[in-house]
Amino acid sequence: MASPQTLEVPVRGMDCAECTQHVRQAIAALPGVEAVTVLLSAEKAVVRLDPSRVDLGAIRRAVEDAGYAVPTAAAARPGPVPLRPFSRRVLGLLGLLFGAVLFVVVAGERLGLIEEATRRVPWPVGGALVLAGGYPLFRKVVRAALRGRVIAHTLMTVGAVAALAVGEWATAAVVVFFMHVGDAVEAFTAGRARRAVRDLGALAPQMARVERDGAEHEVPVGEVRVGEIVVVRPGEAIPVDGEVVGGNAAVDQATITGEAMPAEVGPGARVFAATLARLGALRVRAAQVGPETTFGRVIRMVQEAEAHRGQVQRLADNFSGYYLPVVATLALLTFLIRHDPLATAAVLIVACSCSFALATPIAILASIGGAARRGLLIKGGRPLEALARADVLLVDKTGTLTLGRPRITDVVPVEGISEEEVLALAASAERYSEHPLAEAVRLAARERGLALREPEAFEAVPGLGVRARVGGRAVVAGNRRMLPDASPLPEVAALEAQGKTLLFVARDGGLVGLLAAADTLRPEVPAALTAVRALGVRHIELLTGDNERTAAALGKRLGVPYRANLLPEDKIAVVKQYQREGRVVAMVGDGVNDAPALAQADVGIAMGAAGSNVAMEAGHMALLMEDWTGVPALFRIARRTMKVVKGNLLFTGAYNLAGLSLAALGFLPPVLAAAAQSLPDLGILANSSRLLRQT
């Protein structure tokens, strides 16, 4: 047995969730196929197989036998079309056409015109017209029946045949017409949800300009090698992830982070594929190319998100499996009780299980695609559904609530010495220290425009601070243990109570002042937490590995309870504790040391995941930008999506129940039943379309 391989197979012709099931079943039946995932939004099947037993040719034949197509690699794909204007125009046209035809059908039924047409045109002629017009649909039904499957068109086909059997060829023709209308509506509905994902992929550049042999060559992006220098001119999209080695530019990173303001980048900066160099040119050393770039991983995860189905979506899929036998039974009872073949045909015709299958995935895909355009990555219906029910939010501190790097917040001099003098002295002494606190001191000095002196001597004392000689005088900058004899300033207690780290500065043995540093809270966090509470999350808690004093200060500032001195396994235990209590837990972390807890939570949200494999894989959702406004945005998207899904299911359930009841009682003739069966799809499309506008 050869090593298993994973093959991605493009599939055309899928219009609804039922289609994906047919394709999956056809491929899964092949010997050597271990697993199959069929993605409607990406129009492909992901197949894990034994290459010694099955190949692409066998898969293509199986898909084609099921009634779908596997295009060749050279098959052209349509270019992206502006989503909303296109959708509004087509939806409006469909509505007008449907309304006009429905009016003609209803009027013709009421005035007896359909009955008159049936009487005047010989049955063989009318029957031939019906068979010719319905051949593509009837062929699918027959092929499915030969494989022991019942599809949505099976019932309507039986209804059309029943109408033909009792001489109502005109009624059968109307049924066939609305079968085509239903197919068109379903194709448009699936296409609209799919387009959000496709348009996202269209943002990726296809060509790159690389330096080879002393000259620039334009090559397909897939041919760029890691380590090569890529040249990006003003106004061009960056084709790779990498490091800037030359040039400066204002880069629009909205495709990755959702941030509207361009970022100024220069040598040493990290840039991402599919971002736009608006001003300036760049030379970029490629680090990741093609599917391995951040944008490539986003596209792949958005496409594969469809496979992660939530409980509501699985319920809808299972319901569709039971729905058709129930309808067939109701039709049989109608015939046995009422002895009315037309009423029986109407029951079969009005039933439309596709509306149940469409109710959930269309809304899910619309939300996932819309969120991805804002830099919010959602990995499927399951986490989206869980976040809509979440009532506990656990939050990591360092790198999540805070920026993850210390900044000088206070400069306290002794009497007779200025703040600038204390800061300049400390920064000069720390000039060659690699400690994060030393970098914060130097940054604070640069921000104030202070000139630093070159230390004549320098010694780093691990765990304590530094000793240096600046301007011929001995300077010490360190913690309290390094200066045990220094007289403490009155501000010390208050600063320590705020959880800040203190750096004492002495010159020639005498204390000249102190610096206070803290990991800066992200400015948008308080408002974001307030928004999350307003959305119904009852409990928000801070989890941190920092000490009790620091955690207490931040918890008090944000108005949330906290747990301090936690190891990664301790955070997992906290998540499990709430889950045992029946709570639905969401957690926000930086995706590195928090990865185990993010995976354990019902919904793990990785903060600032752009460019990080660990962060991207650890969470069920990811904020590609380091911006807390994305957290309440995800909660809003989740709650809005599930509201739309439930509305879709309620509408289609009530509609089908009413239609079946009216048809069984004889109040809905087959002609009107055929027209009525297309309406649920239009209703679901209209309701789900709101998510594209609001995400």
Is residue 257 scored above 70 in pLDDT? no
Question: What is the chain's mean pLDDT, rounded?
Answer: 79
Query: Per residue in 175-213, pLDDT tens?
Result: 787 777 767 766 665 565 556 556 666 677 888 999 988
- Measured CA to CA in angstroms, residue 486 lies from 10, 49, 302, 475, 504 at distances of 73, 72, 59, 13, 9
Q: What percent of the chain clears pLDDT 90, i.e. is strictly above it?
A: 19
Is residue 94 scored above 50 in pLDDT? no
Residues 6+ apart with CB under 8 A from 11: 23, 38, 43, 44, 45, 63, 68, 69, 70
Q: What percent of the chain clears pLDDT 70, i.e. is strictly above it?
A: 79
Annotated catalytic, 252? no
Which candidate, 551, 41, 29, 79, places its Cα nearest to that of 308? 41
Question: 91 falls in which pLDDT band (50, 70, 90)?
Answer: very low
For domain 225-288, give the CATH number. 2.70.150.10
**Tell me, what amino acid is at 367?**
S
Residues 6+ apart with CB under 8 A from 612: 591, 592, 606
CATH of 5-65, one of 3.30.70.100, 1.25.40.10, 3.40.50.10710, 3.30.43.10: 3.30.70.100
What pLDDT is attached to residue 87?
Answer: 44
What pLDDT is attached to residue 690?
Answer: 72
Are residues 220 and 207 in contact, defined by beta-carbon separation less than 8 angstroms? Answer: yes
Question: 156 falls in which pLDDT band (50, 70, 90)?
Answer: confident
Per CATH, which fold does 384-402+522-628 belong to? Rossmann fold (3.40.50)
Domain extent listing, the chain: 5-65, 225-288, 384-402+522-628, 405-520
Of the two residues 62 and 366, the one the predictor is more confident about is: 62
The residue from 15, 183, 241, 396 that is catalytic is 396
Bridge-partner residues for 271, per DSSP?
Answer: 242
Of the two residues 576 and 315, the one the predictor is more confident about is: 576
Q: CA 424 to CA 432: how far, in whole Å?
A: 14
Tracing tokens 């010490």 back to the chain, one arrives at 476
pTM higher than the cut 0.75: no
Question: 98 falls in which pLDDT band (50, 70, 90)?
Answer: very low
The structure tokens listed for 304 are 């594969």
CATH architecture of 405-520: 3-Layer(aba) Sandwich (3.40)
3-class secondary structure for 341-388? HHHHHHHHHHCCCHHHHHHCHHHHHHHHHHHHCCCEEECCHHHHHHHH
Burial letters 38-70, b for 16+ CB under 10 A, else e: bbbbbbbbbbebeeeebeeebbbebbeebbbeb
The structure tokens listed for 14 are 């899928």
Is residue 305 scored above 70 in pLDDT? no
What secondary structure letter does DSSP report for 238?
P
What pLDDT is attached to residue 78?
Answer: 41
Compute how many other C-beta atoms are within 10 angstroms of the C-beta atom of residue 413: 18
On the 0-12 / 13-18 / 19+ scale of CB atoms within 10 A, 529 is buried
Residues 6+ apart with CB under 8 A from 284: 229, 230, 231, 232, 238, 240, 242, 243, 244, 245, 271
What pLDDT is attached to residue 95?
Answer: 47
Of the two residues 422 and 691, the one the predictor is more confident about is: 422
Q: CA 540 to CA 646: how far, in whole Å?
A: 27
Mean pLDDT of 306-328: 63
